[in-house]
Structure 1
Amino acid sequence: MTLDLSRCSAAARDRGEPLAGTAPVASRWLLVEHPGPWAKKPLETPPLLGRAGEEVEATCASFGGKALLIRRQGRRGPDPDDARHWFAVDTVRGTWVRGTWRTPEDVLAAARALGSELSASDTDADPMVLVCTQGTRDACCAVRGRPIVATLARERPDEVWECTHLGGHRFAGTLLVLPEGACYGYLDPDTAAGVVGGTSPGTSTGRGCAG
C-alpha cells in the first residue's frame, strides 16, 4: 500500500524518524473530562477559555504537571446537567485523587490538587489508557487514534479514554499509560492492543517515560 506522505505521520514513518526521548515530560497529570468539541489549544476550550485556562496551565506546571482533556469513546457535545470527572495522577508513586467539576473554578481547584493533596494520597490509581484523538490539533491524531480507541475500548471499556494532544502528532497513533507514565507512538489497533496487553516490545513503539 502506498503511503500518503502528505500526512506528517506517514512521512515520519517513511523517514524512520526515531521515537526515543520524544515523550511529554511530566510527573503528575491532571485529566479533565470534557466531551468536546476541543479547541486547538485544549485549555482554551470553553468554559476554560481565558483566565481560567491560563491559571490551570500555570498551576499544573508549578507542580511538574500537565493537563489533558479526556472523554469516553465517541461522546460529543456539551451536557450542562452532567457533573464531569477529573483525575490527578502521580506517575512516581502510582497514586491519585479524583473528583467532579461543573465550573472553571472547580477545574482550578483540581489543578491545585496536584500539589499537597496528591502528595498526601495513598490511594492507588486505577489503570488508564489515554489515546490522542485530537483532530483539531492535527488530522493524523484523529485518523489514527480513533480506530485504536475503538479496538481497545471493546476489551477495556473502563480504562480507555480519548485525550487531547500528547505531542509529536507525526508519531500518531500515540497513547499514554497511567499511572506508569509510559508513552507510545507509531501505533495501530493491533500494536496498541499488544502494548496495553504487555505483549509487544517497547523498543519498537516506546517514546519513553512521561514522568
Structure 2
Amino acid sequence: MQTQHTHQLLTRDCRFCSLVSKANGEDPIGTAGTYDHWLIMEVPQPWPQEIFQENPTLKSLMGLFQELVFKHGVKLKPILIAPDREYSHVGFTRVFYYYRPAKLFSQFEKQEFVVPESKAAALVTAIFKQLMEQPNNLSEFQQYQQQTSHIRELMVCTHTQVDLACGRFGTPIYRQLRKEYAPAANGRLRVWQTTHFGGHQFAPTLIDLPQGCLWGHLKPEILDLLVQRNGSVSALRQYYRGWTGLNEFEQIAEREIWMQSGWSWLDSLKAGKVLAMEEVTQRQEAEWAEVRIDFAETDGSTTGAYEARIEVCGEVMSALNSAKQMELKTVKQYYVSRLVKVE
C-alpha cells in the first residue's frame, strides 16, 4: 500500500529511490549479497553506466569473469574504486583481492597489489585462473604486493551514472568519512568511492572490508558508531544490510544474534546453513525459512550454534531505481520469530 508520505514524494517529482525506501520504512537486512571473493580495482572516473563493457581493460577480462561465475559457480564480486590523491600512484593500478579463508570465518583475507598499469590485466587474469584451479603464476607480482592487512577499507557507492541516489546521497557520506575519519585513524582506515555494488534504494550504502558487512540508508550522525564501535549495537540495526559471508535468510538471523551478543559477535567465526524453506516458484519469495548459524571463538575456547525461524511480517512498496516516473514494487519484510542457542 502506498503511504501518503510516498505519494507526496512522488508527486513532488522526487527521483530518488532511496527516499521512497526510507519513507516506507524498508528494512535493508538480507540484501548484502553472498560472496566468497572480492576483486576490487582502481579505475579513474568518470564511470559510465556500462563501464565493465566500455573500458577496454575491463572488457578484456569479462570472458574469464563470466566463466568463473557462471561455469565454475564462484561467488565473486567485482568492484571498481576511484584513485585517491593521497593513496594512489600515477602510472600504477591498485588491485584488492579478498577471499573467504575457511568455512567458519569472521572476515575476509586480503591481498593488495599496486602494479604498473600495463600489468593490471595480467594480475587480474592470474587471480581468476587461480580461482579456476588452472596453472598460473602470482610470483611475478610478489614485488608489487602491499602489506596492508591491518588497514580497514570503507567503500562508499557514488556511481551516479547507475543511479542518481548513489551520487546524491553517497557522495556527502564519502566526503565526511574521507575528511574526518580516515585522517584520524593513524593509517588504519582508508575510504574509497566505488562503482555500483547493488541496492541503490538503500543509498548511501557502503562496504566495510575486511569484515564484509554492508550498510545502507546511512546518516552522518551514525558514522561515529559505525567506524569507532563505541556505543550500543542496537542503534545500527536499521542500517545493517547484512554480512556477505551468509545468504539472505542467514543474514536476517545473524543480525538478531548480533543485537543480543554485542560487538564481540563480529569477531566470532561463523557459517550458516538453511535447514528448511518454503517451496516457491522462481519468481516468488519464500514466506519462511529455518536456518542454523554455527560459531566459534577465534581461540577455539567456545563453539556453538543458533537456530532461527524467519517469517514474513509484512510488505512495503519500494522503488528499485531512481527515475522521474517511479515504478514501485512490493517487497516482503521479514523478522526472526524464533531464535534459540542449540549447542
**Structure-2 residue corresponding to 1:95:** 109
Give the alignment partner of residue 75 of structure 2, picking from 60, 64, 67. 64
**SS of equivalent to 2:28:** coil
Q: Which has the higher strand share?
A: 2
Q: Which moved more, 1:161-170 or 1:99-108?
A: 99-108
**SS of equivalent to 2:21:** helix
Distance 1:32 1:135, change over 3 A: same
**Structure-1 residue corresponding to 2:321:** none
Amino acid in structure 2 at the alignment position of 1:206: Y
**TM-score, normalised to structure 2's length?**
0.52
Give the alignment partner of residue 158 of structure 2, picking from 133, 145, 148. 133
Deviation at 1:204, TM superposition (A): 1.4
Deviations 1:23-58 (CA, angstroms, capped at 9, x unpaired): 122122111011222232342241335342332354
**SS of equivalent to 1:159:** strand
Q: Which runs of 5+ in 1 are unaligned?
A: none
Q: Percent identity?
A: 28
Q: Which moved more, 1:100-109 or 1:184-193?
A: 100-109
Distance 1:34 1:50, change over 3 A: closer
1:69-84 aligned within 5 A: 69-72=80-83, 82-84=91-93
1: distance between equivalents of 2:211 and 2:168?
Answer: 26
1:152-167 aligned within 5 A: 152-154=177-179, 155-157=181-183, 158-167=189-198
8 Å CA contact 1:85, 1:100 repeated in 2? yes
Give the CA RMSD over aligned residues.
Answer: 3.1
Distance 1:49 1:128, change over 3 A: closer
Give the alignment partner of residue 95 of structure 2, picking from 76, 86, 90. 86
8 Å CA contact 1:60, 1:114 repeated in 2? no
Please state if 1:197 is matched with 2:197.
no
**SS of equivalent to 1:48:** helix
**Structure-2 residue corresponding to 1:173:** 204
1: distance between equivalents of 2:173 and 2:218?
Answer: 8
8 Å CA contact 1:95, 1:125 repeated in 2? no
Distance 1:49 1:70, change over 3 A: closer
**Structure-2 residue corresponding to 1:30:** 39
**Structure-2 residue corresponding to 1:206:** 240
Please state if 1:12 is matched with 2:21.
yes
Q: Which moved more, 1:60-69 or 1:184-193?
A: 60-69
Task: Tell me the number of residue pairs that the alignment of Structure 1 and Structure 2 aligns.
Answer: 203
**Structure-1 residue corresponding to 2:126:** 109
Amino acid in structure 2 at the alignment position of 1:68: I
Deviation at 1:123, TM superposition (A): 8.0
Amino acid in structure 1 at the alignment position of 2:46: P
Deviation at 1:17, TM superposition (A): 1.3
8 Å CA contact 1:57, 1:67 repeated in 2? no
1: distance between equivalents of 2:48 and 2:130?
Answer: 24
2: distance between equivalents of 1:111 and 1:54?
Answer: 11
The higher radius of gyration belongs to 2
**SS of equivalent to 2:30:** coil
Distance 1:73 1:97, change over 3 A: closer
